[in-house]
Amino acid sequence: MHESFPTCRTQSFGLMTSTIPASLSSLLASGGGASQEEAWAAFLAAHSRLLLFVARSFGGDHDAVMDRYVALIEHLSRDDYRRLRAFADDGRSEFSTWLVVVAQRICLDHRRARYGRLRSTDDHARNEHATRRQLADLVGVPADLVPLEDRGDLPADEALAARETRSALDAALATLPARDRLLIELRFTDDVPLAEIAGILGYPTRFHAYRRLNQALATLRSALAARGVVSPG
Amino acid sequence: MSQETSHLSSEALAAFLSRRVGAPEAAAIEAHLAGCPSCRAELTAAHRTGARRERPKRVATRMAAAAAVLAVVAIGLRSPRADPTSAGPVFRGPESGGVVSTVAPSAGARVARDELRFAWAGAGPDYLYRVLVLDSAGAELWRAESSDTVVTPGADLRLVPEVAYTWYVDALGPSGDSASSGPISFGVR
Ligand SMILES: [Zn+2]
C-alpha cells in the first residue's frame, strides 16, 4: 500500500509573523450590527469546511457532528469573538493550524461536558505498557526484566527487578534532550508512525526521524549500560 | 503529575506545529509535550487533521452544505431580529461553490398549505436532492430525499399559519460534489 509522506517542512524557528486571513480581519474590524453579521457569515463560509472536518473527527452520527459544529461556532463568536481576537493578538501560527487546535479543544471540552471522560485510563495504561516494553526490548533490557507494570502475581524479587528496570529506564530517558524524549514518547508511548512523527516534528522525511530515533535509542542504551542495567555494546 | 498543571496554550501548540517558535520556547514546549500525554494527543490529532484535510473525503463534501445552512441558522439565533435569509451573502456549499436555484416557494412567500410544493432547478444528471424544513429556531421539522426536482410534502409536515419557516435543498452529485440553495424563508396562509 502506498504510504503518503507528510508535508515536508524544515525546522526553521524563524520568528515570522503570520498573515491574518481577510475573512478574519474584516470580521474583527467590523463595528457590529449588520456589517458584523455579514462579516461573520463570510468568515463561516470561508472556514466552515475546516470546522466541520474537526467536528467530524470526533465521530458520531450526523446529529452529533452538527451539535459539535454549532458548539464550535457559538464558542468562536462568544464575547465579541474573543477567541478569534486572541489569534490576531498572538499572530504567530498559520491560521488554519491555529483554528484546528482551537476547534479540537472546544470539541474536547464539549464532549467532556456532555459525557465526561471517555477514554479508559486502564486502556491507556495497558497500551503504554505494551509500547514501553517494546522500547525496553529495543534498548536491550533483558527479557526477564521486561514486565514494566506492577503485577501482583510476580514473585517479590522479580517485581523489585522490574521496578528497578523501569526507574533506570526513566532516569536514562531524563538525560535525553526534550526533543528526543518527545520523539521517543510519540513513537513508544503513543505509537505514532514515523511518517507522522516526521511531519509533527518537522523532519524532512520519515527516514530522518528514523535516524534520529536510532541515535536517541543508542544514547539511551549507553546510559542504561552505564547503570549496569544492560550489557555494553 | 497533577491533573491541574497548566497545559500548553492553543497558541503555543499551533505555533509549534507551524514552526513559528524560537529555539528556547521550542525546547520548553518539547519538554512539556514529552511529559504530557494529553497535549501530545492534541498535537498529533491537529497534525493528522491538517494532513487529512489535504485529501478530503467525499462525505465531508456532502455535509458541508448542511453546515453552511446551520451556520446561517446560528447567526439568526445569535441575534433574534435577524432574518436568516438576510444574513448576508447567499450561502454556498463552501467546498463546491455550487448553488441550487430554487423556484418555489420563493423567499418570503406565503402559500396555501395544500398548494405547498418545494421546487428547484436540477443541478445536473444523476443528482440526489434533500429538502429540509426548519422552524424559526433552526430545528428540523421535516425532510425528504428525492431524485426529482419537485417534492410535495405530505400531512407529516405540519405548519402553523403566519409563522416563519425556513427551507433549503442540498444537491449531491454523482461524483460526491454538493451544492445548496441556502435557506429560504416562507410561511403558509
Ligand atoms: Zn499538557
Position A1 confidence tier, pLDDT thresholds 50, 70, 90: very low
Minimal Cα distance from A189: which residue of B? B37
DSSP-assigned beta bridge partners for residue B185: B166
Q: Is B87 on the interface with A (CB under 8 A)?
A: yes
Contacts of A46 in chain B (CB under 8 A): 94
For strands B184-188 and B128-134, give the pairing. unpaired
Q: Which pLDDT belongs to residue A137?
A: 73
The CATH label, of 3.20.20.70, 3.40.50.2000, 1.10.10.10, 3.30.70.890, for the domain at A120-233 is 1.10.10.10
CA-based nearest residue to A54, from B172, B2, B10: B10
DSSP strand E in chain B: where? 98-99, 102-104, 109-111, 118-120, 128-134, 140-146, 150-151, 165-172, 178-180, 184-188
Position A126 confidence tier, pLDDT thresholds 50, 70, 90: low
Contacts of A185 in chain B (CB under 8 A): 33-34, 37, 40
* Among the partner residues B20, B31, B53, nearest to A50 by beta-carbon distance: B53
Q: Is B81 on the interface with A (CB under 8 A)?
A: no
| Lowest-pLDDT choice from A66-80, A144-158, B4-18 | A144-158
> At B21, phi and psi to the nearest 5?
-120, 150
* SS3 label, residue A15: coil
Peptide bond into B105 cis (omega under 30): yes
Contacts of A195 in chain B (CB under 8 A): none
A69/B20 Cβ within 8 A = no
Q: Which pLDDT belongs to residue A127?
A: 60
CA of B8 to the centre of ligand 1 (A): 5
A94/B67 Cβ within 8 A = no
For chain B, the domains span: 10-188
Cα–Cα distances in angstroms (integers) from residue B129 to residues A158, B59, B175, in the given order: 67, 15, 14
* Number of neighbours of residue B128 by Cβ within 10 angstroms: 15
Q: How far is B102 from chain A (nearest CA, A)?
A: 20
Q: Is B83 on the interface with A (CB under 8 A)?
A: no
CA-based nearest residue to B39, from B76, B77, B11, B73: B11
Intrachain domains A17-116 and A120-233 with the same fold: no
- CA A62/CA B84 separation, integer angstroms: 22
Minimal Cα distance from B18: which residue of A? A93
Minimal Cα distance from A17: which residue of B? B20
- CA B62/CA B3 separation, integer angstroms: 40
pLDDT tens digits, one per residue of A106-117? 999 998 887 765
Helix ranges (H only) for chain A are: 22-29, 33-57, 62-90, 95-115, 121-138, 156-174, 178-184, 194-201, 206-226
Among B59, B63, B81, pick the best mutation site for testing chain A contact (most A Cβ within 10 A): B63
* Among the partner residues A69, A77, A94, nearest to B70 by beta-carbon distance: A69
Question: At which residue does the C-alpha cell 398548494 appear?
Answer: B115
Q: Which pLDDT belongs to residue A125?
A: 60
Q: Which pLDDT belongs to residue B115?
A: 83
Q: Which helix (H) or strand (E) holds A64?
A: helix A62-90
The mean predicted confidence, pLDDT, of chain A is 81
pLDDT tens digits, one per residue of B123-163? 776 667 778 787 776 677 888 877 777 888 888 898 888 88
Contacts of A86 in chain B (CB under 8 A): 11
CA-based nearest residue to A146, from A182, A127, A233, A131: A131
> At A60, phi and psi to the nearest 5?
95, 175
CA of A232 to the centre of ligand 1 (A): 35
| Lowest-pLDDT choice from A108-112, A133-137, B93-97, B164-168 | B93-97
B67/A69 Cβ within 8 A = yes
A86 alpha carbon, distance to own chain's centre = 22
pTM exceeds 0.80: no
Instruction: Quote the DSSP letter at residue A119.
Output: S
Check residue B130 and give left, alpha or beta (phi > 0: left; psi -120 to 50: alpha). Answer: beta
* Cβ(A106)–Cβ(A54) below 8 Å: no
Question: What CATH fold (topology level) applies to the domain B10-188?
Answer: Immunoglobulin-like (2.60.40)
* Cβ(A37)–Cβ(B88) below 8 Å: yes
Contacts of A57 in chain B (CB under 8 A): 45, 48-49
| Lowest-pLDDT choice from A140-144, A206-210, B30-34, B73-77 | B73-77
Cα–Cα distances in angstroms (integers) from residue A85 to residues A76, A78, B93, in the given order: 10, 11, 26
Residue type, A227: R
**Cβ-Cβ contacts under 8 Å for A58 (sequence gap 6 or more):** A64, A65, A68, A107, A111
Q: Is B95 on the interface with A (CB under 8 A)?
A: yes
CA of B29 to the centre of ligand 1 (A): 9
Position B104 confidence tier, pLDDT thresholds 50, 70, 90: confident
Q: How far is B157 from chain A (nearest CA, A)?
A: 20
For chain A, the domains span: 17-116, 120-233
* Among the partner residues B22, B31, B71, nearest to A73 by beta-carbon distance: B71
Question: What CATH fold (topology level) applies to the domain A17-116?
Answer: Rna Polymerase Sigma Factor; Chain: A (1.10.1740)
User: How confident is the model over A84-92, as a mean pLDDT?
Assistant: 88
Among A11, A51, A120, A200, pick the best mutation site for testing chain B contact (most B Cβ within 10 A): A200
